[in-house]
């Protein structure tokens, strides 16, 4: 791919115009974002790490980084919070256009691929050692970043959706203390849950996310026997996906048992809804905010099982100096230690991405005391990599969740909605088809 086309991607991803972008050499060394090494860490190589984590998870990141900085005397990592996953991706793209780059960045499940296609990421195989590499990480999660034998990021804050349910409400409704095994079973529980009062009205069964609900819906489509795409060939307008959309439309508009929420997790914690599909990475936050006993179970199946992996991995930017690359790799090696991976899980609910982390005494203790954490780990057996159109198509996720919004808000028919979405996804797929075939297949 030409340098100009890489620049076009970066400019578009950053919301910039193409004018004045200029020529980018893959061999150029870009400057770091502004900052300085504190006096107590003087004479160290500075590594800038861009993070999307705030709140509870952000505090956990800060503690991990502080532990690393105090564990050795050669490297100083500076965490710079950048906002959401999308904010990080946009800011990395803008920084590359300006010939500036963080050394490491957390990139989401639907952003790292685009930086890979446009040659902005450093291949990591050359930095692997006995404590940092393929054998260290959970195979399924590690493998998602491997393309043609090279690793382009490593898993960090990885998650799947999980079904959280209000155990107290289930008890009042006379339901079993478990997640429903199928979506049909959940639908059959609607009348029982409606008898439970919450905020002066009947408890609704489930809330669907207004933004980014397409991540959870990816798994729902598989569960109903469909797919977003096969390769880049779009199939969201076919039977399985339409059936999944129809199930949700009916729950909202025929039964009045579901609705679109700006924050399903907030509504759940406030007792307004009985169940939600949400990230395992929100487990600590959700559990701490809820004023009732929170249960967790596998995402229901229907005609099949399957749920999408998600969350963030850490990529190293290609256009940084060799010294910065070696220093950044030292931090990645630190995060790959079992005790650090396990600690991150205990503080957040994200999956333990390092295999030996599951043997950590503190994590085992947490799972014994709070079995929901164990459910999240066990459910990984049903997880799989998302369909290619969502991963490699620029803003494909936005097109999908915008379609879902029409179903939730307007009672639009899924077949018609997904027919329109499919046309837009096909155009998006065409943008990356040549690169996808060249670099991925």
- Digit-coded pLDDT (tens) for 247-283: 999 999 999 999 999 999 999 999 999 999 999 999 9
From the number of C-beta atoms within 10 Å of its C-beta (0-12, 13-18, 19+), residue 262 rates as exposed
CA 159 to chain centre: 6
Query: What percent of the chain has pLDDT above 90?
Result: 93
The whole-angstrom separation of Cα 113 and Cα 391 is: 7
Q: What is the mean pLDDT of residues 169-192?
A: 98
Q: Which residues of 20-39 are buried (b: 16+ CB within 10 A; e: fewer)?
A: ebeebeeeeebebbeeebee
- Digit-coded pLDDT (tens) for 295-347: 999 999 999 999 999 999 999 999 999 999 999 999 999 999 999 999 999 99
Note the residue count of the chain.
441
The whole-angstrom separation of Cα 30 and Cα 100 is: 5
- Report DSSP letters for 195-257, one per residue: TSEETTEEPEEEEEESSSHHHHHHHHHHHTT--SEETTEE-TTSHHHHHHHHHHHIIIIIS--
* pTM (global) more than 0.95: no
Looking at residue 199, its pLDDT comes to 84
Looking at residue 1, its pLDDT comes to 41
Closest residue by Cα to residue 262 from 270, 35, 254? 270
Closest residue by Cα to residue 232 from 88, 41, 396? 396
Instruction: Please tell me whether residue 187 adopts helix, strand or coil conformation.
Output: helix
Identify the structural domains of the chain with CATH numbers, from first to last.
3-158+310-374 (3.40.190.10), 161-309+385-431 (3.40.190.10)
Tally helices (H) and strands (E) across the chain: 19, 18
CB 242 within 8 A of CB 226: yes
The whole-angstrom separation of Cα 331 and Cα 336 is: 9
The whole-angstrom separation of Cα 365 and Cα 59 is: 22
Inter-helix orientation angle 322-335/55-71, to 10°: 110
- Digit-coded pLDDT (tens) for 372-390: 999 999 999 999 999 999 9
């Amino acid at each position: 791919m030409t340098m100009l086309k890489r620049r076009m991607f970066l400019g578009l991803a950053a919301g910039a115009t193409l004018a004045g972008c200029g020529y980018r050499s893959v061999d150029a060394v870009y400057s770091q974002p502004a900052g300085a090494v504190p006096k107590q860490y003087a004479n160290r190589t500075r590594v800038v790490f861009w993070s999307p984590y705030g709140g509870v998870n952000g505090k956990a990141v800060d503690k991990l980084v502080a532990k690393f900085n105090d564990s050795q005397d050669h490297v100083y990592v500076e965490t710079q919070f950048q906002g959401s996953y999308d904010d990080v991706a946009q800011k990395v793209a803008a920084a590359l256009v300006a010939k500036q780059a963080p050394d490491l960045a957390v990139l989401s499940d639907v952003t790292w691929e685009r930086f890979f296609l446009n040659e902005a990421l450093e291949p990591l195989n050359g930095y692997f050692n006995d404590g940092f590499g393929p054998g260290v990480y959970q195979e399924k999660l590690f493998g998602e970043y491997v393309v043609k034998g090279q690793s382009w990021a490593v898993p960090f804050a990885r998650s799947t959706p999980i079904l959280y349910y209000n155990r107290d409400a289930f008890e009042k409704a006379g339901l079993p203390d478990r997640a429903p095994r199928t979506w049909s079973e959940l639908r059959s529980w609607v009348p029982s849950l409606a008898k439970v009062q919450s905020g002066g009205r009947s408890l609704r069964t489930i809330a669907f996310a207004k933004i980014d609900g397409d991540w959870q819906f990816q798994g729902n489509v598989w569960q109903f026997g469909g797919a977003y795409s096969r390769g880049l060939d779009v199939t969201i307008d076919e039977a399985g996906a339409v059936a999944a959309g129809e199930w949700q439309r009916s729950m909202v508009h025929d039964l009045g048992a579901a609705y679109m929420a700006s924050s399903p997790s907030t509504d759940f914690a406030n007792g307004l809804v009985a169940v939600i599909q949400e990230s395992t990475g929100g487990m600590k936050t959700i559990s701490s905010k809820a004023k009732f006993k929170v249960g967790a179970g596998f995402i229901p199946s229907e005609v099949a099982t399957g749920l999408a992996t998600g969350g963030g991995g850490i990529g190293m930017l290609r256009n940084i100096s060799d010294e910065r690359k070696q220093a950044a790799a030292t931090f990645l090696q630190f995060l790959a230690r079992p005790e650090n991976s396990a600690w991150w899980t205990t503080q957040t609910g994200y999956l333990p991405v390092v295999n030996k982390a599951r043997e950590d005494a503190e994590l085992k203790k947490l799972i014994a005391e709070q079995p929901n954490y164990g459910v999240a780990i066990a459910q990984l057996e049903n997880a799989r990599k998302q369909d290619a159109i969502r991963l490699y198509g620029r803003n494909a996720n936005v097109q999908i969740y915008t379609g879902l919004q029409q179903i939730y808000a307007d009672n639009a028919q899924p077949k018609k909605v997904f027919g329109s979405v499919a046309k837009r996804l096909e155009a998006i797929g065409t943008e990356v088809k040549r690169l996808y075939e060249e670099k991925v297949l």
